[in-house]
Structure 1
Amino acid sequence: MLGQGAPSAVEPQTTDIAILGAGAVGQLICHQLHSAGLAVGLIAREISASPSEATDWQDLVFCPMPSNDANTDSVSYRVPQFGLNSTSLQQIKLLIMCVKAYQVLDAISPLLEKLSPQCHILLLHNGMGPHLALTPKLNGRGLSLGTTSQGVLRQSRWQVRQTGQGLTQFGHFTGPALNQTLQDGLLKAIPNSEWVEAIIPCLWQKLAVNAAINPLTALHQCPNGTLAQAQFTQIIASILDELVEVAAHDSVELNRQFLEERVYRVIELTAANFSSMHQDVAHHRPTEIEQINGYICDRASAHGLSAPINAQICQAIKQLSATKPKI
């Protein structure tokens, strides 16, 4: 069925929230916000040459998870899509960045001089690090961070299917806080979401899961469930040991046992899945290793520590990524 009818592209349209990075997660969040009645649109880097007053419209398709007690028909809907030169960028109150971690700075740099000084930025990606590099460039804007465990699969360029439910957490990092109306709107629109007072520990917890699962599945070319085998017990333990020590020097106290239980719980729940890093390596794409295990190494170095296991894993992934794909 078709979503709410969109106005003509020549009619004025105020978009409060824009998403940059219309991959699987970006389209999932876009659907959830649109379904909740929020004024959401997309920013398309590929139409940067479009006239400044032009607004395109993008048709998207969302496929919900199969359910016995809910309508699982695909939903078609339309949202405004702005180029990098669109004057509508000045109207945006919240920019949600859903690009890969290593793309954040390059993706947002052309926008910073075009967004309103009051526009709030929300980073929603795997790994850590971009928040530290972005902060000096904000020119007084507010920055929030987020993490989500929702599962979503991209079936075509503009069609995604939700594959799993999970916790989504947001929290303030620096600068002016996100206004309460937008904050409430996000939490109402995204199922099982919460605003937390301290977002950094939550990101470290998610980092632990990614640091243990993503590179090992890529290196061993296996689904997540394989990591439950005894042969991986020691290296997972070493990854977590180093992470907990480094986080403590960053004034983030983590429960080591809780982290291990969480890692193995994710391995169990996603046993048949292939991690994003596995897929990136398999398709010869850049990985987020520098923002996952590499971030642990960077923070260790900042405190005069070493994280040899995470460093070895980083190097192994880089070497694997540098090899030519098999034919």
Structure 2
Amino acid sequence: MGITSRLPPSSTPDNTAHIAVLGAGAIGQLMYHKLSVNTQAVQANDVVFIGRDKLTRQQPLSFIDHTQHTHESLAAILGTDDDRLVRIELLFVCVKAYQVEQALIPLLVKLSPQCHIVLLHNGLGPHLPVAAALAKHQGQGLSLGTTSQAALKLSQWQVKHSGFGVTQLGHYCGALISAKLKARLTNLHCDNQPIEWHQPVLPVLWQKLAINAVINPLTALNHCANGQLARAEYQPQIRAIIDELVQVAKYDGITLDKAAISARVYQVIDLTAANFSSMYQDIAHNRATEINEINGYICQQAKLDHLNVPINQSLVDKVLQLSQS
């Protein structure tokens, strides 16, 4: 039985909020708790969620860290009409990739004119409309990121930190993140959960895209855990997915080492052998998938470059067909 501690309320109506998380899934709640639990007490009151409703409310949360210590807190979920949105200086966007544009862009005019936004989702693509929208907000900036940390939702508002990993971030467009906010993020993680800053950031995201482009659709279509993909029968498909991705990335100015990408894909398959991918779980629970932002992004960019990517296109078609059946 883990030890339970009750934190002071993470934000009350009278507190000034500076950091927000949009999206209260497993990763969104993990980021919230790491920002509020792993900070000094004087900083723990400046983190909130942004909700979908117009009205603000408070929500009890439970977080089990890697030592099995349970942290309970009371989070403010700001409504979309709350005047305090203008105080948000840093916003983590942790919704599904296909939700980013609709959830984020209407908020831009309500956030601080100097707000820095971090997209943290699977796949690629949403950064393009967000960057276009940010062109109208000169003081705001955009960073892109990916994390290999793992979190498990035990219930809607209870999350367990289930695996260590690296969070990789990098500036994409607009105003640079301030030194103060960057230092705050660097203090998020301990030694076995570092933050890495990469410039340019897109090569890192293409490498993560390769992992997702292999594991997600193949496990969803074959109804299997990640580890099954290590079998010889999947090697031709995996090789073809990577070949097409590397070719498309090259036309987009991103040079990837095919052998290194392949080695990393198989390493992740091995390290997560017992896991079921997010796309497998989405299909199993009749939820929308992020196929259009994973293999679909490869197909989209290939079309712009007049390239053929039949394997990735086939995976997109099959997953869409499966999710509609």
TM-score relative to the length of structure 2: 0.93
What's the counterpart of residue 158 of structure 1? 157
Question: Given the alignment, which residue of 284, 289, 294 partners 2:296?
Answer: 294
What's the counterpart of residue 142 of structure 1? 141
Q: Which amino acid aligns with 1:85?
A: D
What's the counterpart of residue 44 of structure 1? 51
| CA–CA distance in structure 1, aligned partners of residues 282 and 8 of structure 2 | 37
| CA–CA distance in structure 2, aligned partners of residues 307 and 77 of structure 1 | 48
- The answer to whether structure 1 residue 90 and structure 2 residue 91 are counterparts is no
What's the counterpart of residue 56 of structure 1? 57
TM superposition shift of 1:242: 0.3
Query: Secondary structure in 2 aligned to 1:122?
Result: strand
TM superposition shift of 1:8: 8.1
- The answer to whether structure 1 residue 229 and structure 2 residue 225 are counterparts is no
What's the counterpart of residue 256 of structure 2? 254
Q: Summarize deviations over 1:139-189 as a string: whole Å, max 9, x none.
A: 222110010001111110100111111111010000100101111111211
TM superposition shift of 1:7: 7.7
Question: Given the alignment, which residue of 208, 215, 218 partners 2:217?
Answer: 215
The structure-2 alpha-carbon separation of the partners of 1:7 and 1:249, relative to structure 1 and needing over 3 Å to count, comes to closer
What's the counterpart of residue 6 of structure 1? 9
Q: Which amino acid aligns with 1:156?
A: S
| CA–CA distance in structure 2, aligned partners of residues 18 and 219 of structure 1 | 36
Q: Summarize deviations over 1:257-293 as a string: whole Å, max 9, x none.
A: 1100100001001101000000001111100000000
Query: Secondary structure in 1 aligned to 2:187?
Result: helix
The structure-2 alpha-carbon separation of the partners of 1:258 and 1:8, relative to structure 1 and needing over 3 Å to count, comes to closer
The structure-2 alpha-carbon separation of the partners of 1:251 and 1:8, relative to structure 1 and needing over 3 Å to count, comes to closer
| CA–CA distance in structure 1, aligned partners of residues 105 and 202 of structure 2 | 24
- The answer to whether structure 1 residue 106 and structure 2 residue 109 are counterparts is no
What's the counterpart of residue 267 of structure 1? 269
| CA–CA distance in structure 2, aligned partners of residues 100 and 307 of structure 1 | 25
- The answer to whether structure 1 residue 122 and structure 2 residue 118 are counterparts is yes
TM superposition shift of 1:112: 1.8
List runs of 5+ in structure 1 lacking aligned partners. 66-70
The structure-2 alpha-carbon separation of the partners of 1:8 and 1:18, relative to structure 1 and needing over 3 Å to count, comes to closer
Q: Summarize deviations over 1:14-58 as a string: whole Å, max 9, x none.
A: 11110000100000010100023342110111x31x2xxxx5322
Query: Secondary structure in 2 aligned to 1:111?
Result: helix
TM superposition shift of 1:314: 0.3
Q: Kindly indicate whether the alpha-carbon contact (under 8 Å) linking 1:84 and 1:110 is maintained by their aligned counterparts in 2.
A: no
Q: Kindly indicate whether the alpha-carbon contact (under 8 Å) linking 1:3 and 1:78 is maintained by their aligned counterparts in 2.
A: no
Map 1:193-212 onto structure 2 (within 5 A). 193-212=195-214
- The answer to whether structure 1 residue 17 and structure 2 residue 19 are counterparts is yes
What's the counterpart of residue 185 of structure 1? 184
Map 1:72-83 onto structure 2 (within 5 A). 72-83=68-79
| CA–CA distance in structure 2, aligned partners of residues 123 and 253 of structure 1 | 23
| CA–CA distance in structure 2, aligned partners of residues 204 and 8 of structure 1 | 36
How many pairs align? Answer: 311
What is the aligned-residue RMSD (CA, Å)? 1.3
Q: Summarize deviations over 1:207-243 as a string: whole Å, max 9, x none.
A: 0000000000000000000000000000000000000
Q: Kindly indicate whether the alpha-carbon contact (under 8 Å) linking 2:10 and 2:36 is maintained by their aligned counterparts in 1.
A: no
What's the counterpart of residue 175 of structure 2? 176
Q: Larger deviation: 34-43 or 208-217?
A: 34-43
TM superposition shift of 1:193: 1.2
| CA–CA distance in structure 1, aligned partners of residues 25 and 305 of structure 2 | 35
List runs of 5+ in structure 2 lacking aligned partners. none
TM-score relative to the length of structure 1: 0.92
Query: Secondary structure in 2 aligned to 1:75?
Result: strand
Query: Secondary structure in 2 aligned to 1:198?
Result: coil
